[in-house]
Amino acid sequence: MAYKDRKKKREAKFRDIIQDTEGNIVYTGDLWRIADSEEAGSGRRQRITLIAVIVVIALAVIGSGFIDSKNAIWSFYVVLPYIGEVSALFGLAWNAVKVLLPSGGVRTSVLEHARPMIPGACRILTVFALAGLLFSGVYMIRHGAGDKMLDSIAYLMLKAAAAALAEWFCRRFNLTEWEKI
């Protein structure tokens, strides 16, 4: 049963792609873009804001991995949330770039696939960032920060920033309205 549903989805995805008389592949389906809204401003400004927040989230997540906070690398409960956080970041960035980057419009099949994935990736990133914050705090309480107190504080601040920004991105993206071009 599931195989037939996947096959129907795949066929529907390619139904809007045809070959014209010159041999060029042409997409004839609907294209979507972010609609202008009164409270959020123009669609272009919303796109740029969401892309900028993705970049800042990526900098916070990856930047926290470069901080050496008192040999925490040997503690699995500090490293595992970071691995989950990086994985969720890749999922979020992959789907957000597919939906937000094309300025000429997004195909219906791409939007239908990526749009529900983005809030889930944001929530997963938030959970792993908060877990990293909690477990790093536990590690620092158990083992102390030693001479790396500023690094430890910066690490915790980056974890908190990544969690807060991922949650903000999720809420902002869910409020984004889409319109056909």
Distance CA 133, CA 60 (A): 13
- Write the pLDDT tens digit of every residue in 32-70: 888 887 666 688 888 899 999 999 999 999 998 888 655
3-state DSSP assignment of residue 118: helix
pLDDT band (50, 70, 90) for residue 73: low
106-107: strand order across its sheet: 106-107, 31-34, 178-180
- Write the pLDDT tens digit of every residue in 103-127: 778 888 888 888 999 999 999 999 9
pLDDT at 129: 96
pTM of the prediction? 0.82
Distance CA 27, CA 111 (A): 15
11-20, 57-66, 133-142: which range is least confident on average? 11-20
Distance CA 56, CA 65 (A): 14
pLDDT at 67: 82
Structural domains in the chain, sorted by start:
34-180 (1.20.120)
**To 10 degrees, the CA torsion angle through 156, 159, 161, 163?**
-140
